Each structure stands twice: as structure tokens, then as C-alpha cells.
Amino acid sequence: MMLTLRQYRSNLGWSVERLAQEAKLTYYAVSNAEKGRAVRAATGKAIADALSRALGREILVSDIEGLNTM
């Protein structure tokens, strides 16, 4: 079952700010990604990598429903 970025983040109990910090991105980059706006491929990978570390399993960009990378 695919989850949205917001669902992954909420399941971890993280704020947008916390995910941004963990992914070494700006608040705005994560916020835009969560809203389905197009983000750079590197931004999507950084988000997926941060989620992977937190969850202890590999999360790919393609595993995040609605994550729109360019």
C-alpha cells in the first residue's frame, strides 16, 4: 500500500520542519513536495532517504504517492 508524504510524516509524528531537518532541506521544499508541486529529483531522493533512515527500511521516491519529481 502506497502512502502519501503527509501520511509517512504523520506516522512518524514529524512536523514538516522536522522532515526538512532530517532530509537537510528547507521547509519550503518539503512543503511543496507534500502539496504535490514538482520538486527536483534530488529533493525527492533526500526525502525518501530521510524516511528510510527513520523507518529502518528502504523507501523509494516511487513508493511515495503523489511525490512529483522533475
What architecture is domain 3-65? Orthogonal Bundle (1.10)
- The H or E element containing residue 65 is strand 64-65
| Rounded distance between C-alpha atoms, residue 48 and residue 19, angstroms | 10
Task: Enter the pTM of the model.
Answer: 0.96
Domain range list for the chain: 3-65
13 conformational bin, left if phi > 0, alpha if psi -120 to 50, beta if neither: left
Q: What is the pLDDT of residues 28-65, one digit of tens each?
A: 999 999 999 999 999 999 999 999 999 999 999 999 99
**Mean pLDDT computed over 2-29:** 98
Residue (of 49, 62, 42) closest to 23 by Cα position: 49
